Amino acid sequence: MKRCFFTVLICFLLSPITTWADSIVISVENREFYPFFFLEKKNAPRGILLDMVKDGLTPIGIEPKFKPLPLKRGLRMVERGSVDAIIAPRIKNENFLLPDDAFEKDVSMQRILQIDSVVVTYKSDYEFLGVLNTLPTPIRITLGDPIESLFKQQGLSIDDAASGSHNIKKLMRDKKGCVITTSLKAMTWLDDPKIKENIDVSTEPVVSRSYFLIFSKKSGLGQDKIKLVWDEIAKNRDDYIYPIKLFTAY
Amino acid sequence: MKPKLWLVVLVMCMWTPLNAKTLEEWAKTFEPSALSYEERVKELQWFKDVSKTLSKKLDGKTIRSAAEHIKTHFYERDVLSEAFFDITGIRVKHNIIGEGPVVKEIMTQLRTGRVIEHIYVNDADLIGTHLRYQGVVNLSEYMKGEGKKYTNPYLDLDDWLNLEFGQDYSGNQLQLPDQQFSNLYWFRYDWFTDPKNKKDFKDRYGYELGVPINWAAYEDIAEFFTGRKQTNPDGSIVTAYGHLDYLKPSPSLGWRFTDAWLSIAGVGDKGLPNGIPVDEWGIRIENKVPVGSMVERGGAMNSPAAVYALSKFMEWLKFAPPEAKDLEWHTAGPRGAKGDVAQRIFQYITWLSTDAFHEAGSPVVGKDGFPVWRVAPTPHGRYWDEGMKVGYQDAGSWTIPKSVRDSYRAAAWLWAQFASSKTVSLKKFLVGGTPVRKSTINHPYIDKNIKKWAGLIEFYRSPAEKKWTDSGPNVPDYALSVTWVANLENALKEFHNGASIPELAQKTMDKMARDQDDMMATLKLKKFSPMLNPIKSKDYWLKQPGSPKPKRAPEKPETIAYDQLIKQWQ
């Protein structure tokens, strides 16, 4: 009887039913990119992109484990297959799996979200209309933001800080230069009575990027399942109710 | 000529688009107009002068606007944006997309701050959303402050038909109407005045065939015409349908109800433009704060009146053409022009400008070249009381998200004013049939051609027009409408499977009310955010005065002769 019980138990543990508890490791940048990703107390990663990825994986029975890392390191780990996936803008690499339209369109259908970075300046007549070398310097970005290379190419002076909050404080103190941040973060400053009267936010974004769940070709998750995940994320994103609940949480 | 001068001439020729018109040429194009030629030139000159620095600053950048796919907006895209560019040098890309995508885009922009479009023609039904999200430009403030320089001195806001549709509780203009569309009763005047039809109807029902005042009469007329042989002016003989509707699963199935169907049934309270404390979508409001949709919270979404509204929608499908199940609002819109429908209780006038309703040889156009159909007031349901709104109308309205700033905001505002200016409005109405200005509907040109609109102009000139209103400020977030679509789709599936109507309607409205309240409870809005009432017994609320109202006995059918009715409007 005992032997029979153990046989059943072993069969159960080895059976496909355990797939409901499958988990994958996803790298996410360890910098502040509020509200899309950021670190809470004890370095716990949180954010809209993480919620959307989690909600895309749950119906397929996969649990994500997010690993906050600097972008470059995260990408290397995806390349090696040390993590299954990474949340990032499109990056060409033969070891990466991205949706088919990732390099064909500026706004991919299978993105997680499209995120704009805008220019926040101290109240003045200046208006950013798409010409980078007109940006007031120093250009304040959050530490580790890959957007840095865009300004470096133009030879513009950059100042980085741990968070957007540090940057806006500096802008308010120095009354010069600009802050590059997400349109959502800029909206929160425009709601802040201490800040809103003193800043301008550009209509024109500095960059607009599709963020993806990029998989490693070495991930154990099959291509069919990966496509299902991308489809599920896109379905949620284009839903009417889902975004309300999502954005209300931040 | 020196070689350098040749070069300058060559560059100038390349720079100017070959088909560009001068300001004077455009002024001539917009004929007829509420303004004289000289006045038009003056107004267009203002647009030209004010845009000089702005267009230089924008340096060829394009203003993106979005609007739904109706004739009015195609005209804006194909003619007005071209005129605007020739006159101001500012290029506009007027994206024509469905109304569903328009709402989705603007809501995404409001939630994320990401600039998808610079300006939207967004239905004023969203005014409750905008005043609570605080995400769009307050045009009243803008016109007085930062945007004063860019505000047309010839704008004449008093000339607008229903400016209040785009205003918040304090009268601030958050949206500027661009095209207005009412939802009216549509019927075949020729069939209704046919002596044999009149006699047969009276013999069968005991009262005169005429424009139905209430749903009981509408139902009798629907039954009377369904299956009856009728003749059209083009000589075709058809088996008529007494009703027309649409029920294809789509966002527009939701609008079929959210566009005041419950109010028309009499679900709400008295009060104009919307009932207080209960009206649109069965929502109860206390001090501008939504407190519930369920009867158990003082709302009326699952009240006897709401159940009656859904029941009649389903019961009347037997009088409609079978393809109703495959129709959406835009495919059902022109359907009446096929010549086999006797009446329609819920006709958006937007579609009455389509050629099918007017062209020679159409089954619904007489030998004299004028329509044999008419529009009349919307019949009301059993729970309707004097003092309540009578029907639905809304205005696609220019709306600028706050994320659009500075030069883009100024250029978008100029485009909005240009596309609804006195210079162009009458011409735009003649194309799209959706008026926005009093000077349009009162113009002598319209007087001369009034028969063409078959009652619509009389409607807009009458004080009764004020009783047709939009969803108003009490709906806290237009996204609540998704709960309607999902539940109606399920209800219709059960209906097609033979479910009993009153029970199905009660079950559906109960679930819809609960879902809407659940969703309202999650909303955290900047102003007047919902705070739901505690649950009490249905009985408690049904015994209170006003809405939610207890069950009523069937009403006596009433009709009125169209010619008598039109005199009341005049």
CA-based nearest residue in chain A for residue B118 = A203
Residue A158, beta-bridge partner list: A139
CA-based nearest residue in chain A for residue B115 = A203
How far is residue B182's CA from residue B394's CA, in Å, rounded to a whole number?
Answer: 6
> How many angstroms away from the CA of A43 is the closest CA of chain B?
25
Beta carbons of B118 and A244 less than 8 Å apart:
no
What integer pLDDT is reported at residue A87 of this predicted model? 97
Tell me the HSE value of B320 on the side-chain side, using a 13 A CA sphere.
22
Beta carbons of B409 and A244 less than 8 Å apart:
no
Element (H, E) at B160: none
Q: In this structure, which amino acid lies at residue B236?
A: S
Q: Give Cβ neighbours of residue B385 (< 8 Å, ≥ 6 apart).
A: B266, B270
A235 Cα distance to chain centroid: 18
Beta carbons of B482 and A202 less than 8 Å apart:
no
Beta carbons of B59 and A129 less than 8 Å apart:
yes
**Chains A and B: how many Cβ contacts under 8 Å?**
71
Q: What is the 3-state secondary structure (H, E, C) of B518-537?
A: HHHHHCCCCCCCCCCCCCCC
Beta carbons of B58 and A129 less than 8 Å apart:
yes
Beta carbons of B112 and A247 less than 8 Å apart:
yes
Beta carbons of B407 and A247 less than 8 Å apart:
no
Strand locations in B464-516, DSSP E? 468-469
pTM of the model: 0.89
Identify all chain B residues contacting A202, using CB atoms and an 8 Å cutoff.
405
Identify all chain A residues contacting B113, using CB atoms and an 8 Å cutoff.
116, 118, 182-184, 186-187
Best mutation site among A240, A241, A246 for testing chain B: the one with the most B CBs within 10 Å? A240
Whether omega for the bond prior to residue B32 falls within 30 degrees of 0, making it cis, is yes
Q: In this structure, which amino acid lies at residue B104?
A: K
Beta carbons of A201 and B114 less than 8 Å apart:
no
What the block records as the tokens of B45 is 């000159």
What integer pLDDT is reported at residue B250 of this predicted model? 84
Beta carbons of B111 and A201 less than 8 Å apart:
no
Beta carbons of B408 and A204 less than 8 Å apart:
yes
CA-based nearest residue in chain A for residue B524 = A248
> How many angstroms away from the CA of A181 is the closest CA of chain B?
12
> How many angstroms away from the CA of B90 is the closest CA of chain A?
15
What the block records as the tokens of B238 is 């058809």
How far is CA B241 from each of CA A154, A217, B188, B318, B373, rounded to the nearest angstrom? 70, 61, 11, 9, 15
What integer pLDDT is reported at residue A12 of this predicted model? 45
The residue written with tokens 């009575």 in the block is A193
Q: What is the 3-state secondary structure (H, E, C) of B334-382?
A: CHHHHCCECEEEEEEHHHHHCHHHCCCCCCCECCCCCECEEEECCCECC
Decide: A70 and A30 in contact? Cβ < 8 Å. Answer: yes
pLDDT in tens, B507-549: 999 999 999 999 999 898 999 999 999 999 999 999 999 999 9
pLDDT in tens, B423-456: 999 999 999 999 999 999 999 999 999 999 999 9
Longest C-alpha distance within chain B, in Å? 94
Beta carbons of B403 and A115 less than 8 Å apart:
no
Beta carbons of B408 and A114 less than 8 Å apart:
no
pLDDT in tens, B388-418: 999 999 999 999 999 999 999 999 999 999 9
> How many angstroms away from the CA of B170 is the closest CA of chain A?
21
What the block records as the tokens of A66 is 């997010």
How far is residue A48's CA from residue A34's CA, in Å, rounded to a whole number?
Answer: 9
Residue A216, beta-bridge partner list: A96
Least CB–CB distance from A248: residue in B58, B113, B524? B524
Q: How many CB atoms lie within 10 A of CB A187?
A: 20
Q: Give Cβ neighbours of residue B220 (< 8 Å, ≥ 6 apart).
A: B205, B212, B557
> How many angstroms away from the CA of A209 is the closest CA of chain B?
11
Q: Does the beta carbon of A206 lie under 8 angstroms from any beta carbon of chain B?
A: no
Question: Under DSSP, is residue A60 helix (H, G, I), strand (E, B) or coil?
Answer: helix
Identify all chain B residues contacting A245, using CB atoms and an 8 Å cutoff.
522
How far is residue A221's CA from residue A23's CA, in Å, rounded to a whole number?
Answer: 10
Beta carbons of B113 and A202 less than 8 Å apart:
no
Q: Does the beta carbon of A208 lie under 8 angstroms from any beta carbon of chain B?
A: yes
What the block records as the tokens of B395 is 């205005």
Least CB–CB distance from A241: residue in B409, B482, B526? B482
How far is residue B51's CA from residue B143's CA, in Å, rounded to a whole number?
Answer: 16
Nearest to B345 by CA among B314, B379, B321: B379
Decide: B517 and B124 in contact? Cβ < 8 Å. Answer: no
Least CB–CB distance from B113: residue in A187, A208, A240? A187
Of the ranges A12-26, B65-79, B85-99, B130-144, which one carries the lowest mean pLDDT score? A12-26
pLDDT in tens, B288-321: 999 999 999 999 999 999 999 999 999 999 999 9
Q: Which residues of chain A have pLDDT under 50?
A: 1, 8-9, 11-21
How far is residue B321's CA from residue B329's CA, in Å, rounded to a whole number?
Answer: 15
Of the ranges A4-8, A53-57, B31-35, B459-463, which one carries the lowest mean pLDDT score? A4-8
Give the torsion sign (CA, B279, B282, B283, B284): positive
Give the torsion sign (CA, B437, B439, B441, B445): negative
Decide: A33 and A142 in contact? Cβ < 8 Å. Answer: yes
Nearest to B260 by CA among B498, B475, B476: B475
Q: Does the beta carbon of A217 lie under 8 angstroms from any beta carbon of chain B?
A: no
Decide: B470 and B273 in contact? Cβ < 8 Å. Answer: yes
Beta carbons of A248 and B522 less than 8 Å apart:
yes
How far is residue A10's CA from residue A15's CA, in Å, rounded to a whole number?
Answer: 8
Q: In a 10 Å sphere around its CB, with 0-12 CB exposed, 13-18 middle and 19+ buried, how is residue B115 labelled?
A: buried
Q: B538-566 burial, b if ≥16 CB within 10 A, otherwise e?
A: beebbeeebbbbeeeeebebebbebeebb
Q: Does the beta carbon of A111 lie under 8 angstroms from any beta carbon of chain B?
A: no
Beta carbons of A127 and B118 less than 8 Å apart:
no
For helices B304-315 and B481-496, the axis angle rounded to 10 degrees is 50
Element (H, E) at A31: none
What integer pLDDT is reported at residue B548 of this predicted model? 98
Residue window 40-99, chain A: list those with CB within 8 Å of chain B. none
Give the torsion sign (CA, B163, B164, B166, B168): positive
Determine what percent of chain B is predicted with pLDDT higher than 90. 89
Least CB–CB distance from A245: residue in B58, B104, B522? B522
Averaged confidence pLDDT in chain B: 94
Beta carbons of B523 and A240 less than 8 Å apart:
no
What integer pLDDT is reported at residue A20 of this predicted model? 44
Q: Does the beta carbon of A201 lie under 8 angstroms from any beta carbon of chain B?
A: yes
B205 Cα distance to chain centroid: 34
**Size of chain B in residues:** 570
Full DSSP string of A81-148 = TSSSEEEEE----TTEE--GGGGT-SS-TT-SEEEEEEEEEESSS----S-GGGS-SSEEEETT-TTH
pLDDT exceeds cutoff 50 at B367: yes
What integer pLDDT is reported at residue A70 of this predicted model? 93
Beta carbons of B407 and A248 less than 8 Å apart:
no
Question: Under DSSP, is residue B286 helix (H, G, I), strand (E, B) or coil?
Answer: strand
What integer pLDDT is reported at residue A17 of this predicted model? 37
Identify all chain A residues contacting B403, using CB atoms and an 8 Å cutoff.
183, 187, 201, 203
Least CB–CB distance from B482: residue in A183, A240, A247? A240
Identify all chain A residues contacting B523, using CB atoms and an 8 Å cutoff.
244, 248
How far is residue B411's CA from residue B88's CA, in Å, rounded to a whole number?
Answer: 10
Beta carbons of B407 and A116 less than 8 Å apart:
no
Identify all chain A residues contacting B59, using CB atoms and an 8 Å cutoff.
129
Least CB–CB distance from B114: residue in A127, A183, A248? A183
Nearest to B86 by CA among B39, B51, B37: B51
How far is residue A211's CA from residue A209's CA, in Å, rounded to a whole number?
Answer: 6
CA-based nearest residue in chain A for residue B103 = A240
Least CB–CB distance from A203: residue in B57, B406, B523? B406
Beta carbons of A129 and B405 less than 8 Å apart:
no
Best mutation site among A182, A196, A244, A250 for testing chain B: the one with the most B CBs within 10 Å? A244
Beta carbons of B57 and A129 less than 8 Å apart:
yes
Beta carbons of A205 and B407 less than 8 Å apart:
no
What integer pLDDT is reported at residue B100 of this predicted model? 82
A75 Cα distance to chain centroid: 13
